[in-house]
């Protein structure tokens, strides 16, 4: 499992994460009007758009990809990331689950 670094307070930011010899393109968007964070992810031919970030859940489990994203609330309040600087201040942290983590969670091999 890895922690996604360098998440700032920009409302539209693109992160490129090296994974299994390829690249995962993660686009984080903050919607100030409704106070939510969403993300788009692209990897190989898979493209998943507009997933809302919530604390404590696997966001793209049903897409059967060899990775997933989990958000943690470091204050223990259980609140989803709702402010622009939640990630910048560290109030919430975004992690990416790797293939080995998913094997432990799902109980079967993950296709990369």
Partner 1 sequence: MIREYNQAESGSKLQQVGVGGFTLFAKVREGVSMPSQSPTTYLEDGSYVNDHIVTEAIKVTIEGSVSDTYISAPSVAPLQNTRQDNIQNITAFLPARPPQQVQAIRNIESNVRKSYAQAEKNINQKNIIAQVGDQAQSELRRKFFDAMEKLYQSKQLVAIETEYRIYENMVLNQIDIVRDNQNEALSFSISASQVRFAKTESVRVAFNKPSGGLKGQSDPQIDKGVQQGEKVETSILAGLLK
Q: Which residues bind partner 1 (CB under 8 A)?
A: 1-8, 10-18, 23, 27, 30-33, 56-58, 70, 72, 95-97, 100-101, 104-105
Please report how close the Cβ of residue 46 comes to partner 1 at its closest, in angstroms. 19
Please report how close the Cβ of residue 2 comes to partner 1 at its closest, in angstroms. 3
Q: Which long-range contacts does 36-44 make (Cβ < 8 Å, 24+ apart)? A: 36/80, 36/81, 36/82, 37/80, 37/81, 37/82, 37/86, 37/87, 39/69, 41/69, 43/19, 43/67
Please report how close the Cβ of residue 52 comes to partner 1 at its closest, in angstroms. 15
- Between 41 and 96, whose beta carbon lies closer to partner 1? 96
- Between 25 and 64, whose beta carbon lies closer to partner 1? 25
How far apart (Å, rounded) are the C-alpha atoms in residues 102 and 108? Answer: 8
- Provide the 8-state DSSP code for 75: T
- Between 18 and 108, whose beta carbon lies closer to partner 1? 18
Please report how close the Cβ of residue 7 comes to partner 1 at its closest, in angstroms. 8
């Amino acid at each position: 499992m890895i922690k996604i670094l360098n998440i700032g307070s920009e409302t539209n930011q693109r992160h490129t994460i090296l994974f299994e010899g390829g690249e995962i393109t993660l686009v984080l968007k903050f919607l100030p009007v409704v106070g939510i964070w969403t993300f788009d992810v692209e990897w190989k031919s898979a493209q998943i758009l507009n997933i809302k970030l919530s604390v404590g859940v696997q966001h793209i489990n049903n897409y059967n990809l060899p990775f997933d994203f989990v958000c943690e609330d470091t204050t223990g309040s259980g609140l989803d990331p709702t402010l622009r600087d939640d990630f910048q201040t560290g109030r919430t942290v975004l992690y990416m689950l790797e293939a080995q983590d998913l094997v432990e969670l799902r109980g079967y091999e993950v296709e990369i």
